[in-house]
Structure 1
Amino acid sequence: MQKALFLFIALIVSCGIVRAKDEDSLTNQLLKQLKQYDSVNKAMKYQTGLVKLPNGIAQLNVPKGFKYLNAEQSQFIIHDLWGNPARPDVIGMLFPENGGPYADSTYAFIISYDETGHVEDEEANKIDYDEMMKNWHTAEKQTNTERMKQGYPTLHIVGWAQKPYYDKSTKVLHWAKELHFGGEESNTLNYDIRILGRKGMLSMNAVANMSELSLVKQDISKVLGIAEFTAGNKYSDFDSNIDKIAVGGIAAVIGGKVLAKAGILAGLGKFLKIIILGIGALIAGIIRFFKGKKQDESYTTYEPAPPADNSTPNA
């Protein structure tokens, strides 16, 4: 995608069609977006292999096919690029090897740590997840009223994209929901992973379009084993004499904050399309403008061929 757009700009300039103020304005807008797109991608410093997270409580073993972005850069992406509220709890992001903040048709896991207390897991296999979904649907009307007051679009939880599963041996819980935000044409995928530790949870949350579900599922087995707590912070290190216990257990982990956090996540799913659609609209506008000048011999027009179907965006 990026290469095709830069080629398009080069062809416009080489054909000598950048002359009028209106043409300059449109072309400059496109050049500005492409410059930001390219500079942001080049500035990102990714890590692979063993990565110690900033709080020292956990670490990642980032395998081939994935890359990690540190806390500072991740917070910049979430707040400055994607326009979401600041997330000081974010300690990194995990991308597929070919992914990135502007990449299309991909996903990213946002990593954070929540010291809510030790989550007891004795009841994990007794939870009725179909009943949990029914309760969410019942509460939607009231919740959406509050969301609209706060300026967020309405949210409908369509259903489970992946029913919750808890691996008691590794203390890893994961599930996925299909969401629909008011005004959006496509549904959003919200994939959650929680790694339980001594005093809290390491959270990995991915937001993408539902069309990326198969890609996430293809990679999920690798992602589930990437994070681990360090010695002294593991689930087995819990000390009932000094450590507090979280309220609600596994059910509260899955359902307790789902609707509250959805407002923050709304912008992430939408942003995956914004840069592509925005640039596409500018290209279409430029092409329409020059088509209108065909009868004016003082202008040379050029209509580029559409990018090949198999072109892929650079991350």
Structure 2
Amino acid sequence: MDLPGIPRYTRKMLDNSGFRVSLHASAHGLRRSMLLGALLLASGLLASAQGHGINNPELFDSVLHYHTEEVTLPHQLQVQPAASLRFLNGEDANHVIYDVWGGSADPSILGMLLPRNLSPVSEGGWGLSLQHLDTGYVDARRWKNVQAQDVLKKLQDTSSQVQVLGWAMPPTFDPRTGLLIYAAEVKLPGAESTAVFPRVLLLGREGLVLMKGIIEKKHWEGLKKELQNLGHSVQFTAGHRYTDVQAGDRLYDYGMSALITEQPIQDPEKAPFRFPWMVLLMGMGLMVVLLGKRVRSRNLTLQAE
């Protein structure tokens, strides 16, 4: 997966440093450490990589295929980047993840949304990758039971890889659009500064889109302003949107806080299976086990149960 004219200085540097961690870990790569992309940003290795050769944003961007017009993706998805954003397909997104951020290529990544005015190799550059998760329909009535401080405590109690400091943005949910947005501020092992993990989840009738990234805290405000634009840049096609739910649709069996904390999940035919919050943060994509429950009624209004 080499980029024409762009040597893998980042990969060589990281191999020599002993870091073999993956920002977007696959199921088969989980046994390797999961924090390379995070350490890359938070410890300043990205700046070092730029100093070793990937220091020309114009040259780097010239070999990527950015889209600013509408793009059709699998799973009944359409991307129309906001005026401040641009889109990379899955192949180019993996180039950025692998060659710049030192992560592992992940075929489940459908693409990436990035700012138009910043290259991935620029200071403060960022991108949120897109993955589709076949969860079934998430009942909006569960949202009233979600308490931000309770969810935060669960994150702090269940995360062993990083220190969760607090919310950089507490969870918010809009049942009209199906957008669940939140961001946690964390302290990474060996890092001098803190980092922020922003997440944008677009819920649909049959599944959801997970948009995830990482950024140094000092650059967070610029990305924070774009989170709504990121969410509105991706849509399910008509008939597959969150408000298109029909009686008989498959139902996600866990509360909405489970989308954030990734609590234990049980397949009725298997033993209970647990994996940590960092899996959701770092990109496993194995977020739920489907249980076959069904929506009883289309009238799912936002109310406490």
TM-score (norm 1): 0.65
Aligned pair 1:189/2:196, yes or no?
Answer: yes
Aligned pair 1:74/2:81, yes or no?
Answer: no
Aligned pair 1:106/2:125, yes or no?
Answer: yes
After superposition, give the CA deviation of every residue in 1:244-270 in whole Å (9 maximum; x if it has no partner): 2112131111111632234559xxxxx
- Equivalent runs, 1:267-282 vs 2, <5 Å: none
After superposition, give the CA deviation of every residue in 1:59-92 in whole Å (9 maximum; x if it has no partner): 1221222111111111222134422233221111
- Secondary structure of 1:249's match? coil
Counterpart of 2:149 in structure 1 is 130
Counterpart of 1:246 in structure 2 is 252
Indicate if the aligned counterparts of 2:55 and 2:121 stay in contact, CA closer than 8 A.
no
- Secondary structure of 1:233's match? coil
Which residue type is aligned with residue 64 of structure 2?
A: M
Which residue type is aligned with residue 248 of structure 1?
A: Y
Superposition RMSD in Å: 2.5
Q: Quote the offset at 1:224 in angstroms.
A: 2.7
Q: Distance in 1 between the 2:283 and 2:211 partners? A: 15
Aligned pair 1:215/2:235, yes or no?
Answer: no
Indicate if the aligned counterparts of 2:167 and 2:184 stay in contact, CA closer than 8 A.
yes
**Structure 2 residue runs without a partner (length 5+):** 1-48, 263-275, 285-305
- Secondary structure of 1:33's match? coil
Instruction: Count residues in correspondence.
Output: 223
After superposition, give the CA deviation of every residue in 1:210-230 in whole Å (9 maximum; x if it has no partner): 112211222233223211110
Which sits farther off after the overlay, 34-43 or 58-67? 34-43
Q: Distance in 1 between the 2:162 and 2:54 partners? A: 32
- Equivalent runs, 1:49-68 vs 2, <5 Å: 49-53=69-73, 55-68=74-87
Indicate if the aligned counterparts of 1:78 and 1:87 stay in contact, CA closer than 8 A.
no
Q: Distance in 2 between the 1:92 and 1:263 partners? A: 16
Q: Distance in 2 between the 1:258 and 1:59 partners? A: 28
Aligned pair 1:84/2:103, yes or no?
Answer: yes
Which residue type is aligned with residue 165 of structure 2?
A: V
- Secondary structure of 1:49's match? coil
After superposition, give the CA deviation of every residue in 1:22-64 in whole Å (9 maximum; x if it has no partner): xxxxxxx9997258866532101100022212x0511122122
Which residue type is aligned with residue 95 of structure 1?
A: L
Counterpart of 1:297 in structure 2 is none
Q: Distance in 2 between the 1:195 and 1:37 partners? A: 30
- Secondary structure of 2:140's match? coil
Counterpart of 1:304 in structure 2 is none
Counterpart of 1:230 in structure 2 is 237
Indicate if the aligned counterparts of 2:183 and 2:197 stay in contact, CA closer than 8 A.
yes
Q: Distance in 2 between the 1:135 and 1:30 partners? A: 37
Counterpart of 1:176 in structure 2 is 183
Aligned pair 1:46/2:66, yes or no?
Answer: yes
In structure 2, the CA distance between the partners of 1:84 and 1:50, relative to structure 1 (3 Å rule), is same
Q: Distance in 2 between the 1:137 and 1:31 partners? A: 36
In structure 2, the CA distance between the partners of 1:222 and 1:37, relative to structure 1 (3 Å rule), is closer
Indicate if the aligned counterparts of 1:79 and 1:87 stay in contact, CA closer than 8 A.
no
Q: Percent identical across equivalent pairs?
A: 23
In structure 2, the CA distance between the partners of 1:131 and 1:199, relative to structure 1 (3 Å rule), is same
- Secondary structure of 1:224's match? helix
Indicate if the aligned counterparts of 1:56 and 1:230 stay in contact, CA closer than 8 A.
no
Counterpart of 1:20 in structure 2 is none
Indicate if the aligned counterparts of 2:57 and 2:119 stay in contact, CA closer than 8 A.
no
Which residue type is aligned with residue 199 of structure 2?
A: D
Q: Quote the offset at 1:194 in angstroms.
A: 0.7
In structure 2, the CA distance between the partners of 1:137 and 1:83, relative to structure 1 (3 Å rule), is same
- Secondary structure of 2:141's match? coil
Which structure would you say has the larger RCO, counting Cα contacts within 8 Å and 6 or more residues apart?
Answer: 1
Q: Distance in 1 between the 2:279 and 2:109 partners? A: 17
Aligned pair 1:206/2:213, yes or no?
Answer: yes
| Larger Rg over CA atoms | 1
Which residue type is aligned with residue 253 of structure 1?
A: L
**Structure 1 residue runs without a partner (length 5+):** 1-28, 145-153, 266-315
Which residue type is aligned with residue 240 of structure 2?
A: N
TM-score (norm 2): 0.67
Indicate if the aligned counterparts of 1:127 and 1:251 stay in contact, CA closer than 8 A.
yes
